[in-house]
Chain A
Amino acid sequence: MLYIYCPHCEEHREEEEFHYGGQAHVARPKDPDACTDAEWADYLYFRKNTRGWHHELWVHAAGCRKFFNITRDTVSYEIKETYKIGEQPAISE
């Protein structure tokens, strides 16, 4: 069970309070109607399957209800950082 620092509540809480939201930084295309089917499918379905540092979206569902991002190692599960939506991660890959 992960121990997650919520950047909004500014404290560590148990994983039970959070929901996972998938890969982070998957922005909705600005003009969906201009997307080809392939581009839309890419947005909809294609995600990284990273071995190592992975940026992912979480929500403090049973806490402040805020979304934020985590940089987590998918092998060791180590959490390197958590940061708010709109902020950039310190490590890129």
Chain B
Amino acid sequence: MAQKNRLATGGRINRNRQLTFKFGDNVYSGFEGDTLASALLANGVNIVGRSFKYRRPRGIVAAGADEPNAILQMGASEATQTPNVRATQQELFSGLQCRPTNGWPNEQFDLMSYIGKVGGRMMPPGFYYKTFMYPASMWETYESYIRKAAGLGRSPTENDADSYDHVNRHADVLVVGAGPAGLAAALAAGRAGARVILADEQSELGGSLLHSDDTINGEPATDWLASVIAELSALDNVLLLSRATVNGYHDHNFLTIHERRTDHLADRAETGKVRQRMHRVRAGWVVLATGAHERPLVYGNNDLPGCMLASAVSVYIKRYGVIPGQRLVLMTTNDFAYQTAIDWHRAGREVAALVDARRNPRGERVAQVEKMGIRVIRGSAVIDVLGGKRVAAAQVAAIDEQGERVVGAVEAIRCDTVASSGGWSPAIHLSCHTGSKPEWREDILGFVPGKTVQRQLLAGGITGSYGLQDCLEQGYQAGALAAQKAGFNAVKPASFSIPCVKEQSAMPLFHVPHTLPTSRAPKQFVDPQNDVTAAGIELATREGFESIEHVKRYTAMGFGTDQGKLGNINGMAIAAKSLKQSIPQTGTTIFRPNYTPVTFGAIAGRHCGELFEPKRFSAMHAWHVKHGALFEDVGQWKRPWYFPKPGESMQRAVNRECLATRESVGILDASTLGKIDIQGKDAREFIGRIYSNAWAKLAVGKCRYGLMCGEDGMVFDDGVTACLGENHFVMTTTTGGAAGVLEWLELYHQTEWPELEVFFNTVTDHWATLTISGPNSRNLLAELTDDIDLDREAFKYMDWRQGTVAGVPARVFRISFTGELSFEINVQANYGLYVWEKLFEQGEKYHLTPYGTETMHVLRAEKGFIIAGQDTDGSAHPCDLNMGWAVAAKKPFSFVGKRGMQREDCVRENRKQLVGLKTRQPEVVIPEGSQAVKDPDQPKPMEMLGHITSSYYSANLGRSIAMGYIKNGINRMGETVCYPQADGTVIEAEICSYIFFDPQGERQNV
């Protein structure tokens, strides 16, 4: 198809490389150097999508990040689908495929638009809330349809096929924006020797210089640009990043730069290449040279395709050699936009009229335009436009000096493009991210950054200075100053000479009046992406929304993916006027990260799939894998869950493992338990202050179980600590609690008791722990050691011994988490697998059975041993757990938790207490988390008595067992409670001791 709007010459495009692409189901062509938007305009594509709420046809408005309408769904395959890509920022490549975001059945003909037309007046802000409010129970039904009708883009249903990554960077000076001000800043800072990063969102550095007719120091601006880029590129201390959007400005000069490295080349990145990269930059100083966005004017039907920003029209003509129409009507409040009429005229097409809202414009460009024979209509405005799917005519009328009323007759002027300019709004987004409050400046009719809160300087358009000379000078000074503040020498000042065009001041006009009142006039869009109109904002203020933040939320103004770059200032001004207050009184909403949408891929970087989180493996992991273990995540650890034989279900495998352990001997890899080495002459005293029980008399060679409580008295960890020497202990913690416990110990030592001489170190990874448990465990161990006396009297329960196991130096602890005779063999981790295999060599005759965490849980529950974090939740103190025996209230030092557990609430009656529960039907296992009630038929809300924390089927007991909390449970043994289930059934259970098996503890003492 011919590119009917492509000019014969001009633009920074490569006409020798023609590229074909697909928009919807149509194939078009463009040139290398085009954006998707410029290529669509070149092909005369008017409608690029349908609007969010009313489904009105929409065309391209802008040429950059501020584009509200050309928000496309990109991707040639399901895996490469990317929603909400701005066509104005997507470079064209051969084979590009995209679709409009909204529009059903398609963007040319949208059924929903009829609802928009018929119901348009009936869909004010809050329409959905007001209409679908009743009955409340139906809201979820309504909502799913409303969401389907709204929505912007869709996410892919397949995994992203590309790679993304993060790079950490440090810079002395980070310059944001490579327009004239940013380039000058980078030049100065670079010349001073500072490490500089210059980042710009566009494909080429240069900003407005890329479509400028200006000269700098007598040479064309583009030549100056080329020489500056050459100089910067030659500096080793300067990093130039194009296609790189500084999307967030965070605390302490931490900024993130979203760089699109291959999005301009193909649908997918080449193998081995990274598609997008997030640069995480810690900058000494930041120079914001982000420029400004042009404000459109708000008039009737201003969303019709063909209505564009004046500056965008110039950009398409001069940078891309594309003229977006045949006949132009330009409406302006300022001199600057006259340039667009000049550019259109020079491109050889007709300017039907230039409509200036000011009564008596006298700037230099006015004369220039009139000399070209262009009709200038003064003191007037385009009050609305006519047309169906493209502008057909502009309705022009005289307005009063304040821009509040139409005062003359309406003249329809035939045209297909209406370009408008209401002045410029500084791009203050990044400054807002830092928490700096914007300030209104009446002289430039815009918000500028207020008091800076970080080490940050400003230059160029963001300060409200739009002249090229000012931008270059401010930029150079800011760059030099930033480098100096970062510790570099001053650079020689640079001078810039630019021929100056005399401009006259602009007229404030944020809402073009109409012959009809706003509520009756054709829709005047303020935020086209979210279909917010001037009438909608006025309605919001009439309904009582006074804060601009509330107006924003009620109307959805600025909530689109464009964050209201185009419409926010107009919207605030309209709200201010409607509230009869000034713009500074009304204030502005605050922009938040991200400046433009960032893909999840770039946010995740390499932190996905296998690299999402570190994995920790014990020394015996390979053996477990080889022997068919299934694994469970415990913190970062991969722990064997159970070891099924071929075809065996989980329950059957766990039953087998449980029985084998109690009948002969089982083995558990317990290496993941946290282990903290504690040394120093005050180690014993310290442990006594931290644990709730007594430690003063624990002899060398002995172990003791301890409960660790917070200052509120609540249990948060437990474990066995062994006395290795008079001043040397090793403490075990829960697998998940290891790091937290170490920090807890350090906290008390460093901040409360620094006078104690004690040192802590983690040794979790240094040791492999092989736990053999069961009546044959002593026989098995005897096969592998000859230097440890295993006699039951010589090596008692809760003793530990140093010796060798399978010839490897070992610490053997005779402690038990199963209630069986049990030995925990600790060897240096790199011998773990060797000793494990030796145990299996000797273990064959005892049917040594490996078991995982599930069997461990069942066996310990049979004995009523708690798991901190499963049977505790931070609201149970030791007596609630019926473990008052572990509290040594008489210790001289008031240990951590003692005072807490004596508080009034902790000693009251009727606290929830941990008990055992046996179901009436022995085969029924109560689901963990089930809530207990006395009578399931009582009226709601029922009295909740407690809940189940652990629940299993015990093969050894031939029935289910459970642990759980019951109010005053310890005194309610034998009572029956009920556990109503979601399916309506009720499980009855009897309260009992949580020690279900071997209550006298005889088996571990054999």
Which residues on A are within 8 Å of B, measured CB to CB? 1-3, 14, 19, 21, 27-28, 31-33, 35, 37, 40-41, 43-44, 57, 59, 61, 65-67, 75-79, 85-86
Contacts and interface: CB of A to CB of B under 8 A. Distances in A.
B582 interface: no
Interface string B227-267: 00000000000000000000000111110000000000000
Nearest to B894: A32
A28 B711 contact: yes
B743 interface: yes
7 contacts: A3-B254, A3-B282, A28-B711, A33-B894, A40-B903, A67-B747, A67-B751
A67 B894 contact: no
B898 interface: yes
Contacts of A67: 746-747, 750-751
Contacts of B900: 40, 44
B666 to A, nearest CB: 37
B942 to A, nearest CB: 30
Given A2-B251, A33-B898, A78-B453, 17 more contacts: A1-B252, A1-B254, A3-B253, A3-B254, A19-B743, A21-B747, A28-B752, A32-B894, A40-B903, A44-B711, A59-B747, A61-B743, A77-B251, A79-B252, A85-B750, A85-B751, A86-B754
Contacts of A21: 747
Given A37-B904, A65-B746, A43 B754 contact: no
A89 to B, nearest CB: 15
Contacts of A75: 435
Contact of A33 (B253, B453, B751, B899): B899
B899 A2 contact: no
B712 interface: yes
Nearest to A86: B754
Nearest to A25: B751
Contact of A1 (B250, B711, B752, B898): B250
Interface in B527-565: none
A59 B742 CA distance: 12
Given A33-B894, A37-B904, A2 B751 contact: no
Contacts of B899: 32-33, 35, 40
A61 B250 CA distance: 22
Contacts of B250: 1
A37 to B, nearest CB: 5
A59 B252 contact: no
Contacts of A3: 251-254, 282
- Name the residue in B251, B453, B900 with the highest tally of chain A Cβ atoms < 10 Å from its Cβ: B251
A89 B900 CA distance: 30
A57 to B, nearest CB: 7
A3 B743 CA distance: 21
Nearest to B750: A67
A65 to B, nearest CB: 6
Contacts of A66: 750
Interface string B446-458: 0000000100000
Nearest to A45: B712
B902 to A, nearest CB: 8
Contacts of B747: 21, 59, 67
A2 B252 CA distance: 6
Contacts of B453: 76, 78
Nearest to B897: A32
- Name the residue in A21, A28, A43 with the highest tally of chain B Cβ atoms < 10 Å from its Cβ: A28
Nearest to A57: B751
A85 B899 CA distance: 25
A1 B453 CA distance: 15
A79 B453 CA distance: 12
- Name the residue in B251, B712, B751 with the highest tally of chain A Cβ atoms < 10 Å from its Cβ: B751
Nearest to A67: B750
Interface in B243-298: 250-254, 282
Given A2-B251, A65-B746, A85 B754 contact: yes
Interface in B685-733: 711-712
B678 to A, nearest CB: 14
A21 B754 CA distance: 17
Nearest to A21: B747
Contacts of B743: 19, 59, 61, 65
A41 B899 CA distance: 10
A40 B905 CA distance: 13
A77 B454 CA distance: 10
A5 to B, nearest CB: 11
Nearest to A69: B751
Contacts of A35: 899
Nearest to A40: B899
Contacts of A85: 750-751, 754
A14 to B, nearest CB: 8
A90 to B, nearest CB: 19
Interface string B63-90: 0000000000000000000000000000
Interface in B137-194: none
Contacts of B894: 31-33
Nearest to A77: B251
Nearest to A66: B750
Nearest to A33: B894
A61 B711 CA distance: 22
Contacts of B253: 3
Contacts of B903: 37, 40-41
A46 to B, nearest CB: 13
A28 B750 CA distance: 13
Interface string B724-762: 000000000000000000010011001110100000000
- Shortest 8 CB-CB contacts between residues of A and residues of B: A32-B899, A3-B252, A32-B894, A67-B750, A77-B251, A76-B453, A1-B254, A33-B894
Nearest to B753: A28
A74 to B, nearest CB: 11
Interface string B885-916: 00000000010001110011000000000000
A74 B752 CA distance: 26
A75 B451 CA distance: 14
A76 B435 contact: yes
A79 B254 CA distance: 14
A37 B903 CA distance: 6
A41 B903 CA distance: 9
- Name the residue in A21, A27, A32, A44 with the highest tally of chain B Cβ atoms < 10 Å from its Cβ: A32
Given A32-B894, A59-B743, A44 B251 contact: no
Contacts of B251: 1-3, 77
A23 B900 CA distance: 20
Contacts of B750: 66-67, 85
A3 B292 CA distance: 30
Nearest to B711: A44
Contact of B711 (A33, A43, A78): A43
Interface string B597-631: 00000000000000000000000000000000000
A73 to B, nearest CB: 9
Contacts of A1: 250-252, 254
A27 B251 CA distance: 30
B148 to A, nearest CB: 38
A58 B251 CA distance: 17
B759 to A, nearest CB: 11
Nearest to A28: B752
B682 to A, nearest CB: 17
Nearest to B747: A67
A68 to B, nearest CB: 9
A3 B283 CA distance: 11
A19 B711 CA distance: 20
A11 B747 CA distance: 21
Contacts of A79: 252
Contacts of A31: 894
A40 B254 CA distance: 40
B125 to A, nearest CB: 32
A70 to B, nearest CB: 12
Contact of A32 (B252, B746, B898): B898
A14 B904 CA distance: 43
